[in-house]
Structure 1
Amino acid sequence: MVVRMDDAFLAVDWGTTNRRVYRIENGAVVRTERDERGVTAVTDFAGEAAAIRARFGDLPMLLAGMVGSNIGWRVAPYVPAPAGVSDLAATLLRIDDRTMIVPGVSTSTDVMRGEEVQLLGAVTAGLVPGDALLVQPGTHCKWAVMVEGRIADFTTAMTGELFALLRAHGLLAAQLHGEVTTSSAFLEGVVDGKRRDLAASLFGIRAAKMLGTRDDADAAAYASGLLIGSDVAARLAAAPDAPIFILSGPELGNLYTAAIAANGRSAALIDSHAAFVAGILAVGAAIA
């Protein structure tokens, strides 16, 4: 089966907790749907694929993300970095002649699944240059170094997961229920995050409550700023000259934009859904 850009096919960005289905015709999305049927909510993947086809059309299907992991449908191999579109297309895991899973990408110390489609799609669509530093904020934030349009290297930071854990459990949980915006408290956290003394700075949230030096309404924004600021400072130091692009929606994207600006750099916000579509089209067009 060959999926070309002028074909109709289904693409699924299938993550751990959510998934998004796209029906693509002649290179354009004609229908899309997001739900909470991530891989951890599914036991019968063949049945889920059949149900998607029943709703979106009996078409060839390209799947990406955690569906190809050891908690997904079947394990798709990792392609070693540096990796480009042709490498992904050449290493697809074929479930059957109409259903294929895009492989992840690995380095000697890190792995990704799903993000590779967005990263390469952003370059393919001309949304970012071939040489750049790309960041994908989220539960597990990815920082990818792109060289000549390929994923040359990347680092994963558990920034979002750490914030969620702090909000839900432990000493600080009762303080971290306020709104997180690019407020002065968030920016104060970003500055303190540059010190790379994260464990001590986090306890400072408790100390500020006991000493009456920060209102609890600002504690969540400060904590978010600490975590994002520490993440951003480390990554920017490793790429001092690269142009920076953020693949995200505006909520997280604006936080990272502000944190990067506080470190004396600038970043452009890129639509991550548009990047995924461009990437899956490129992979589909490269299938031999």
Structure 2
Amino acid sequence: MSGAAFIAVDWGTTNRRAYLIEGGEVVATERDDMGILSVPPGGFPAAVAGLRERHGGLPMLLAGMVGSNRGWHDAGYVLAPASLADLAARLVSPEEGVAIVPGVCRDGDERQDVMRGEEVQLLGAVAAGLAPGDALLCQPGTHAKWALMKDGALADFITAMTGEMFALLKGHALIGSEMTGEVEADADFRKGVEASADRDLLSALFGVRAAAVLGRRAPGAAAAYVSGLLIGSDCRARITLPGQQVHLLADGLLARLYSAAIAIAGGQAVVVDSHASFVAGITRIWDIKA
């Protein structure tokens, strides 16, 4: 480990989290809602300068959507299988003292996929010993990532629009007005996960409307049920073996929902600290490039 201090930033679409790292240890953190969508045109240099000034002008290593074609500077993609060393070898420097980590892509004839930001956490979880070198990892969210790790590298992955589909259904679909109530890993959510076993998702979604019209589902229960349908469908598509272990990079509600769905789908969830994974991954990249 180089021990040189630096600022690591996980810069997403809606949020930004900065870590001041010295000797591999986090000594200060800062989080705000200054995601890339909140930065005005041409405003990235000033936003970066502000962060550096608040943390002693140290060099900075950025990851996430800041390196996308919608962010500050397109850092491109490394083709899977990819390792932390592969990412470190392809850093992009938009200005002196600042570097951006590239994303990872899958570019086969039959299927293409991309990730940006998650690769640092997924590889970092393995580097920190929070997940084994050969494992199935899941990072839930708006676009849930499922990653197959082999020999410590990110060998393959798939993205599911699980969270985004829930938001679209609630905001724009016929069943949206029925999707009231809180989402929690409760009985209604579990019923949705169990119903996802029928593998007829589109029919099951319309059934939400029918159940409401016919008075077969209590008011306030549909949101949790639909969440269970979507997350259950997502998990059942990835879990291929009885008792399959899934290392879950999540906390709070998402950890509870996916842990319950994975168990119902026949798997076993192992919750991993995603923030510790990011710090481990970004620090290893920093040390390799140094």
TM-score (norm. length: structure 2): 0.95
Match of 2:18 in 1: 21
Q: Which of 137, 140, 165 is residue 137 of structure 1 equivalent to?
A: 140
Change (3 A) 1:31 1:209: same
Structure 2 distance, partners of 1:80, 1:86, is 13
Say whether residues 1:40 and 2:43 are aligned partners: no
Structure 2 distance, partners of 1:32, 1:9, is 12
Say whether residues 1:199 and 2:202 are aligned partners: yes
Shift of 1:240: 6.3
Q: Counterpart of 2:268 in structure 1: which amino acid?
A: S
Match of 1:160 in 2: 163
Structure 1 distance, partners of 2:173, 2:256, is 28
Match of 1:125 in 2: 128
Match of 2:91 in 1: 92
Which range moved further: 187-196 or 126-135? 187-196
Structure 1 distance, partners of 2:243, 2:257, is 21
Shift of 1:227: 0.2
Say whether residues 1:224 and 2:227 are aligned partners: yes
Q: Counterpart of 1:46 in structure 2: which amino acid?
A: P
Shift of 1:121: 0.5
In the comparison of the two structures, how many residue pairs are matched? 284
Shift of 1:219: 0.5
The alignment-based identity, stated in percent, is 56
Match of 1:265 in 2: 267
Three-state SS of the structure 1 residue aligned to 2:174 is coil
Match of 1:70 in 2: 69
Match of 1:9 in 2: 6
CA deviation map 1:184-221 (0-9, x unaligned): 11111001112221111111110000111111211011
Q: Counterpart of 1:35 in structure 2: which amino acid?
A: D
Structure 2 distance, partners of 1:11, 1:189, is 39
Match of 1:255 in 2: 257
Which range moved further: 48-57 or 80-89? 48-57
Structure 2 distance, partners of 1:172, 1:56, is 48
Match of 2:278 in 1: 276
Match of 1:30 in 2: 27
Structure 1 distance, partners of 2:68, 2:175, is 33
Match of 1:179 in 2: 182
Structure 2 distance, partners of 1:106, 1:241, is 29
Structure 2 distance, partners of 1:142, 1:213, is 34
Which range moved further: 59-68 or 262-271? 262-271
Q: Which of 214, 223, 238 is residue 235 of structure 1 equivalent to?
A: 238
TM-score (norm. length: structure 1): 0.96
Gaps of 5+ in 2: none
| Partners of 2:135 and 2:149 within 8 A in 1 | yes
Structure 1 distance, partners of 2:243, 2:155, is 16
Structure 1 distance, partners of 2:142, 2:280, is 23
Shift of 1:170: 2.4
Q: Which of 241, 244, 247 is residue 245 of structure 1 equivalent to?
A: 247
Structure 2 distance, partners of 1:242, 1:171, is 36
Three-state SS of the structure 2 residue aligned to 1:7 is coil
Q: Counterpart of 1:253 in structure 2: which amino acid?
A: A
Shift of 1:96: 2.6
Structure 2 distance, partners of 1:218, 1:270, is 29
Q: Counterpart of 2:138 in structure 1: which amino acid?
A: V
Gaps of 5+ in 1: none
Three-state SS of the structure 2 residue aligned to 1:173 is helix
Shift of 1:5: 4.1
Match of 1:188 in 2: 191
Q: Counterpart of 1:51 in structure 2: which amino acid?
A: G
Which range moved further: 171-180 or 265-274? 171-180
| Partners of 1:131 and 1:242 within 8 A in 2 | no
Residues 50-69 of structure 1: pairs in structure 2 closer than 5 A: 50-69=49-68
Which range moved further: 194-203 or 112-121? 194-203
CA deviation map 1:257-277 (0-9, x unaligned): 000100121111111111000
| Partners of 1:248 and 1:270 within 8 A in 2 | yes
